Amino acid sequence: MSINNVKGTHDIIGKEAENYGYVENIMAQISSFFAFQPVRPPVLEYSELFVRGVGESSDVVRKEMYTFLDKGDRSLTLRPEFTAGIIRLIVQNKLIPVNELPLKFYYCGPVFRYERPQLGRYRQFNQFGVESVGHNSPYADVEVISLAYTILQSLGLENVVIKINTLGDETSRNAYRNALRDYFKDKVANMCEDCKQRYELNPLRILDCKVPEDQMIVRGAPKMSQFLSLESQKRFLKVLDALREMNIPYEVDDTLVRGLDYYSETVFEFHYTSQKGNNYGAVGAGGHYDKLVHEIGGPDAPGVGFSFGVERIVNVLVDDGLIDNNPGLNLDIYVMPVGEESQARAINIADDLRLLGYKVDMCFDNVKLANMFKRAEKKNAKLAVIIGEEEIKNDTLVVKNMATKEQFEINVDDMEEKIDAMFTKKHHCCHDGEKEDGHQCCHEEKEKHHRECCEGDECECQKEGK
Ligand code: HAM
C-alpha cells in the first residue's frame, strides 16, 4: 500500500519550488533594504510559549496547535506562528538591553496549524515575516506596513487592499471588553459553543466568529472606536496620516480585531483577489503588541510585525500570470552522447560547461538522436551539444543552435570562446561577414561590419542588441 502525504500538507516540486525561492528572495532583499536582519528560530518550542504568547483565548492555541509530549515528557509544539518564537529568541539572548532599538528581524519557514484544509488554507504552510521590537513610535508601525506594501508591489500585486484598525491601549480594550460582555450577556446562550467559551475567555474573539447566525448578532455589537482613549486615537491618526503622505492606500475597517491575543493599537491585513476571482483570504497580516515581550519574561517593550502566507502569495502570482508555473527547465545546453561509450566523455564536457556558467543537463539514456533532440526541446535548451565516436576521436563537439537549427563543429580546446560567443556574452567579429563562431551577424555590408568590429566600434547588430 502506498503512503501519501499528511492531510493539509503539500509537496512543492521543481518550478513551483523555484517560485517559492523567487518570492522569498524578493521578500528578504527588500526587508534588508529596510535594515531588517535575518533570524532562524527553531520549529519546536515549549508549548507554554504559545499558550502565554499567542493567548489562551485564540483559536490557534485552543484548537490548532500540533502539541505532543517528547520522550522526556515535555510538552512541545510545532510553531503555529513565528512572533512568539522571535520574542523568545530576543528575550533569551538578552538582545534588548545591548542594542539600539528597535531590533529589526525577518524570518521565513514552515508553520503548522490544525485547521480544516481548503483553498489557500493548509496545515503546514510557509510564512515570511518581520518583527520590529523595542520602540513605541507609531512610525515603527508605518515602517513595517510600508515594507509589506513595497514587497507586494515589487512582486507585481498592484491592487492590494490594506485593511487597518486600532485595538487601542489596554485601558481602551478593557472598556471595550466590558461593553461587549454587556452586549452579549443575554445573547450568548443562543450562540455557538465556541462563542460561549470566547465570552468567558475574551469576548473580543466573538467578533471573529464565522457562524452566519452569530455574525448577525455580532453586527449589532458596539465598535472599538467608541472606547478608544485619546492617546490611542492620536496614535492611530499619526499612522493613518503617514500612510496617506506616503501614498500607501488603506481602508479603515472597525470590525478588524485579528485572531491572536497579543495585539494592541494598530492591526492590519493585506487582501488580494486574483484576476481569476480566487479569494485566498488575507495574503498577510500583522499588528502592534505591547505586552508580549513582558509576557515572555522580557522587559516592558512593545513591537510590531507582519507575516505573509507564502503559499497564498505564490498562488495569486501564478493565477495572475505574474510568475510562470510551467515546469520547463530553461536549459542553456543539453549534452547528447551518441552511444553508451560517449557518456563518460559527455559528463566531462557537461561539467566543464557548468564551470563556464551555463545551466547544463545531459542525457543518460542510450536513445536515438531524434529522441534526444525532442528532450532538448522539452527542456527549452538553447544549444544541443552532440558527442559521438567521431567527435571523441577528433577532440571536437557538434553544436546545434536549437532556435536557428544551425549546426557546426568546434574543437574542444575552443569550447569556451565559441560557446560564449553563441550566448553573445563576448562578441567576436564575424570576419568579412562570415559567421565564424556562432555570432548571429545579420549585417549585410561585410566590409563596414568588419571595420566596426575590428576597429573597436560596436557593430550594428551589437548596437541593436542582437
Ligand atoms: P496570521 O494572520 O495568523 O498572523 O497569519 C499570517 C498569514 O499567514 C495570513 O495572513 C495568511 O496569509 C497566512 N496563513 C494563516 N493561516 C494559514 C493557513 N492555514 N494556510 C495558509 N496560509 C495561512 C500571524 O501569524 C502573526 N504572527 C502575524 C504577525 C507578525 N503579527 C505580528 N507580527
Per-residue pLDDT of 325-384, as tens digits, reads: 777 778 999 999 999 999 999 999 999 999 999 999 999 999 999 999 999 999 999 999
Query: Does residue 273 contact residue 279 with C-beta atoms inside 8 Å?
Result: yes
- The answer to whether residue 430 scores a pLDDT higher than 60 is no
Does residue 19 sit in helix, strand or coil? helix
Does residue 15 sit in helix, strand or coil? helix
Task: Indicate if the alpha-carbon torsion angle 348, 352, 355, 358 is positive or negative.
Answer: negative
Task: For residue 127, give the amino acid letter.
Answer: Q
Protein residue closest via CA to atom 16 of ligand 1 = 121
Confidence of residue 87 (pLDDT cuts 50, 70, 90): very high
Protein residue closest via CA to atom 10 of ligand 1 = 284
Determine the atom of ligand 1 nearest the C-alpha atom of 80. 25
Distance, CA of 107 to CA of 129 (rounded, Å): 6
Q: Which of 290, 164, 147 is nearest to 239 (CA)?
A: 164
- The answer to whether residue 287 scores a pLDDT higher than 70 is yes
Helix (H) or strand (E) holding 162: strand 161-166
Protein residue closest via CA to atom 21 of ligand 1 = 121
Is ligand 1 within 6 A of the CB of residue 79?
no
Other beta carbons within 10 Å of 121 = 16
Distance, CA of 17 to CA of 10 (rounded, Å): 11
Q: Considering the chain, what percentage of its residues have pLDDT values greater than 90?
A: 82
Ligand 1 pocket test: pick from 116, 121, 127, 257 the residue with the most ligand atoms within 8 Å of its Cβ: 127
Q: Residue 454: its pLDDT value, please?
A: 43
For residues 122-144, give the mean pLDDT.
98
Is ligand 1 within 6 A of the CB of residue 58?
no
- The answer to whether residue 258 scores a pLDDT higher than 60 is yes
For residues 90-106, give the mean pLDDT.
94
Tens digit of each residue's pLDDT (9 = 90 or more) over 101-110: 999 999 999 9
Tens digit of each residue's pLDDT (9 = 90 or more) over 290-331: 999 999 999 999 999 999 999 999 999 999 999 987 777 789
Other beta carbons within 10 Å of 147 = 23
Ligand 1 pocket test: pick from 312, 314, 317 the residue with the most ligand atoms within 8 Å of its Cβ: 312
CATH classification code of 333-424: 3.40.50.800
DSSP collapsed to 3 states, 187-249: CHHHCCHHHHHHHHHCHHHHHHCCCHHHHHHHHCCCCHHHHCCHHHHHHHHHHHHHHHHCCCC
Tens digit of each residue's pLDDT (9 = 90 or more) over 15-25: 899 999 999 99
Tell which phi-psi region holds residue 100, choosing left (phi > 0), alpha (psi between -120 and 50) or beta. beta
Protein residue closest via CA to atom 20 of ligand 1 = 121
- The answer to whether residue 119 scores a pLDDT higher than 70 is yes
Q: Residue 85: its pLDDT value, please?
A: 98
Q: Residue 98: its pLDDT value, please?
A: 82
CA-to-CA separations, 334 to 186, 360, 378, in angstroms, rounded: 73, 6, 11
CA-to-CA separations, 156 to 151, 271, 284, 314, 385, in angstroms, rounded: 9, 14, 15, 11, 37
Does residue 87 sit in helix, strand or coil? helix
- The answer to whether residue 444 scores a pLDDT higher than 60 is no
Is ligand 1 within 6 A of the CB of residue 284?
yes
Q: Residue 238: its pLDDT value, please?
A: 98
Is the pTM here over 0.85, yes or no? Answer: yes
Query: What's the 43 CA to ligand 1 centre distance in angstroms?
Result: 16
Q: Which residue has the higher pLDDT, 8 or 56?
A: 8
Q: Residue 457: its pLDDT value, please?
A: 46
Q: Residue 326: its pLDDT value, please?
A: 74
Tens digit of each residue's pLDDT (9 = 90 or more) over 193-226: 999 999 999 999 899 888 999 999 999 999 999 9
Query: What's the 308 CA to ligand 1 centre distance in angstroms?
Result: 6
- The answer to whether residue 439 scores a pLDDT higher than 50 is no
Does residue 154 sit in helix, strand or coil? helix
Is ligand 1 within 6 A of the CB of residue 121?
yes
Chain region(s) in the chain for CATH 3.40.50.800: 333-424
Is ligand 1 within 6 A of the CB of residue 102?
no
Q: Residue 151: its pLDDT value, please?
A: 98
Determine the atom of ligand 1 nearest the C-alpha atom of 313. 12
Average pLDDT across the chain, whole number: 91
Query: Does residue 266 contact residue 236 with C-beta atoms inside 8 Å?
Result: yes
- The answer to whether residue 445 scores a pLDDT higher than 50 is no
For residues 117-146, give the mean pLDDT.
97
Query: Does residue 91 contact residue 59 with C-beta atoms inside 8 Å?
Result: no
Query: What's the 220 CA to ligand 1 centre distance in angstroms?
Result: 27
Query: Does residue 87 contact residue 105 with C-beta atoms inside 8 Å?
Result: no
Q: Considering the chain, what percentage of its residues have pLDDT values greater than 70?
A: 91
**Mean pLDDT lowest among 76-80, 84-88, 402-406, 458-462:** 458-462
Is ligand 1 within 6 A of the CB of residue 122?
yes
Is ligand 1 within 6 A of the CB of residue 334?
no
173 CB-side CA count, 13 A: 19
Q: Residue 451: its pLDDT value, please?
A: 46
Confidence of residue 91 (pLDDT cuts 50, 70, 90): very high
Protein residue closest via CA to atom 8 of ligand 1 = 309
Chain region(s) in the chain for CATH 3.30.930.10: 15-169+229-319
Helix (H) or strand (E) holding 170: helix 170-184
Query: What's the 328 CA to ligand 1 centre distance in angstroms?
Result: 31
Is ligand 1 within 6 A of the CB of residue 83?
yes
Determine the atom of ligand 1 nearest the C-alpha atom of 306. 30
Confidence of residue 285 (pLDDT cuts 50, 70, 90): very high
DSSP collapsed to 3 states, 327-393: CCCCCCEEEEECCHHHHHHHHHHHHHHHHCCCCEEECCCCCCHHHHHHHHHHCCCCEEEEECHHHHH
Q: What is the CA radius of gyration of the chain?
A: 30
Query: What's the 102 CA to ligand 1 centre distance in angstroms?
Result: 22
Query: Does residue 107 contact residue 82 with C-beta atoms inside 8 Å?
Result: yes
Confidence of residue 264 (pLDDT cuts 50, 70, 90): very high
Distance, CA of 398 to CA of 396 (rounded, Å): 7
Q: Residue 449: its pLDDT value, please?
A: 45
Helix (H) or strand (E) holding 462: helix 460-463
Is ligand 1 within 6 A of the CB of residue 316?
no
For residues 70-95, give the mean pLDDT.
98
132 burial via Cβ count (<10 Å: 0-12, 13-18, 19+): buried
- The answer to whether residue 122 scores a pLDDT higher than 80 is yes
Query: Does residue 266 contact residue 239 with C-beta atoms inside 8 Å?
Result: yes
Is ligand 1 within 6 A of the CB of residue 64?
no
190 burial via Cβ count (<10 Å: 0-12, 13-18, 19+): exposed
Distance, CA of 320 to CA of 84 (rounded, Å): 34
C-alpha cell at 296: 515572555
Is ligand 1 within 6 A of the CB of residue 309?
yes
Q: Residue 159: its pLDDT value, please?
A: 85
CATH class of the domain defined by 15-169+229-319:
alpha beta
Protein residue closest via CA to atom 22 of ligand 1 = 309
